[in-house]
């Protein structure tokens, strides 16, 4: 049975998901309806409905298409970067967290066909599900419309991330960046506490980035490495924000302390009019500078 004919069997199954037609408008492409339904079918829904085919094969395909387009773009726009740096740039764009954010921008979660159990645990906003489904949708666009259309979609959705990744610098490796920042701020060496949940075939890892016993950020991912990187990024941004605010406050204090004194008005006491000393109308400057009260200085002068 073909991909499309098998997918058509899913189209009439009950789901609380929004109509895929609305998603087509956001994607800018009208796809074979059964294929789009397949792309939006999570394994939890398939298992609860008699073992229907899931979107996993389309996810596999879409992952490759996404990787190809992003890699090609980075290769062409950064002709002088070595392979290692290009790989870091790509990782900053093609990761579960980034894909999930793009998916949220499309409100993709409302279109996913989920099982009741997954639905009840907030699956529509789970980063791993959003990322996988977005890749499946890209795979569906590729199958139905071809590489040019899929490439156009990837560029439209991911070019802002590609551009942003070019400006991240050392932040591309968030664990290294966090360690450098905490050293500069004399906070200590970061540590990562990682926990895992879910069945063996669909584990979710959660990491907490701790410095000096304080948790500064958390992250989740489909691997321990991804979760730690996300936690490191969150912690880096938190510590960097505090450091920047402190530096700005200190700069403001220095500016105030170093400001020129307000100009004195001529003719008023203390204006520094040289005639004051001769007329006796001014204060005893010498006494003041010596720390002697003016009245005492005048009394001593009278005795003399």
In degrees rounded to 5, what are phi and psi of residue 213?
80, 0
The encoded tokens of residue 154 equal 């990837």
| 100-to-34, 55, 105, 154 alpha-carbon distances in Å | 24, 16, 9, 14
CA distances from 190 to 185, 237, 241, 304 (A): 12, 14, 17, 74
Crossing angle (nearest 10°) for helices 56-77 and 147-165: 60
**Does the annotation flag 56 for ligand binding?**
no
**Owner of token pair 């058509």:** 8
Residue 207 to residue 215: CA distance in whole angstroms: 10
Q: 3, 24, 48, 63: which one is catalytic?
A: 63
Distances (CA, A) of 144 to 12, 60, 79, 169: 21, 16, 32, 37
Active site residue 63: yes
State in Å, rounded, how far the first CA of the chain is from the last one.
Answer: 121
**Options 118, 135, 173, 228, the catalytic residue:** 135
Residue 273 annotated as part of some ligand binding site:
no
CA gap 198, 247 in Å, rounded: 43
Q: Any catalytic annotation for residue 135?
A: yes
Report whether 118 belongs to an annotated binding site. Answer: no
Give the pairing of strands 214-221 and 204-211: antiparallel
Asked whether the CA dihedral 154, 105, 197, 192 is positive or negative, the reply is positive
How many CB atoms are closer than 10 A to CB 300?
Answer: 11
Which parts are annotated binding residues for Mg(2+)? 59, 132, 135
* Catalytic residue set: 63, 135
């Amino acid at each position: 049975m073909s991909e499309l004919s098998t997918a058509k069997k899913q189209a009439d199954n009950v789901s609380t998901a929004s109509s895929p037609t609305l998603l087509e408008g956001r994607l800018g492409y009208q796809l074979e309806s059964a294929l789009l339904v397949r792309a939006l079918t999570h394994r939890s829904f398939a298992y609860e409905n008699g073992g229907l085919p899931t979107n996993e094969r389309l996810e596999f395909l879409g992952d490759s298409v996404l990787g190809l387009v992003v890699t090609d773009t980075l290769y062409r726009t950064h002709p002088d970067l070595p392979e290692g740096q290009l790989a870091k740039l790509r990782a900053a764009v093609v990761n579960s967290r980034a894909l999930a954010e793009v998916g949220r921008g499309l409100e993709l979660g409302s279109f996913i066909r989920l099982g009741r159990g997954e639905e009840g645990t907030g699956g529509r906003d789970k980063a791993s599900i959003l990322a996988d489904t977005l890749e499946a949708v890209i795979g569906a666009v590729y199958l139905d419309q071809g590489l040019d259309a899929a490439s156009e979609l990837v560029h439209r959705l991911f070019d802002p991330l590609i551009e942003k990744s070019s400006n991240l610098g050392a932040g591309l490796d968030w664990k290294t960046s966090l360690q450098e920042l905490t050293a500069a701020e004399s906070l200590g060496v970061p540590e990562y506490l990682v926990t895992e949940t879910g069945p063996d075939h669909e584990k979710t890892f959660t990491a907490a980035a701790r410095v000096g016993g304080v948790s500064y950020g958390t992250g989740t991912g489909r691997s321990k490495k991804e979760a730690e990187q996300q936690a490191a990024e969150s912690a880096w941004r938190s510590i960097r924000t505090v450091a920047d605010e402190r530096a700005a406050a200190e700069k403001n204090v220095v500016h105030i302390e170093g400001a020129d004194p307000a100009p004195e008005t001529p003719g008023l006491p203390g204006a520094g009019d040289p005639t004051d000393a001769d007329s006796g109308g001014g204060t005893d400057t010498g006494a003041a500078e010596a720390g002697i009260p003016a009245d005492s200085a005048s009394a001593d002068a009278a005795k003399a």
